[in-house]
């Protein structure tokens, strides 16, 4: 997946994962990586920014595997932001699908032309 496209949806992915459960940073990376290839360095700046904007609360929790982990939990503002971004995402996907469908024949012809060259 294109890097710029990925960056645009990661905020929504982080908010969506935190909808159902609190997570620590690496856990978020692992969860999102099941569907989208990402690195630790991509998620942590998003977590810092969204925490600063009031979308997450954080707390430390002891770990049996090392130092305490910083957990993130969605605030009410974070839930509102998640809903807003989800609605925007679905509208965007519908619009892109509409454009693709309207231009499908042109796209098919371009693909065929490229295949013949």
pLDDT for 14-65, tens place per residue?
A: 999 999 999 999 999 999 999 998 887 889 999 999 999 999 999 999 999 8
Domain that holds residue 44: 3-116
What digits encode the pLDDT tens for the residues 13-26? 999 999 999 999 99
Element (H, E) at 56: strand 56-63
DSSP character for 13?
H
What CATH number is associated with residue 75?
1.10.10.10
DSSP character for 25?
H
Domain count within the chain: 1
Percent of the chain with pLDDT over 70: 92
**Is pLDDT of 2 > 80?**
no
- Its pTM stands at 0.80
């Amino acid at each position: 997946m294109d890097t710029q496209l990925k960056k645009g949806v990661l905020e929504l992915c982080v908010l969506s994962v935190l909808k159902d459960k609190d997570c620590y940073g690496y856990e978020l990376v692992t969860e999102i990586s099941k569907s989208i290839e990402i690195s630790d360095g991509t998620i942590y700046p998003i977590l810092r920014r969204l925490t600063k904007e009031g979308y997450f609360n954080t707390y430390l929790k002891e770990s049996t595997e090392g130092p305490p982990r910083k957990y993130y939990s969605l605030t009410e503002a974070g839930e509102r932001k998640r809903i807003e971004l989800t609605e925007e995402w679905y509208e965007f996907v519908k619009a892109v699908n509409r454009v693709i469908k309207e231009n499908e024949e042109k796209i098919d012809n371009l693909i065929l032309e490229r295949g013949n060259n």
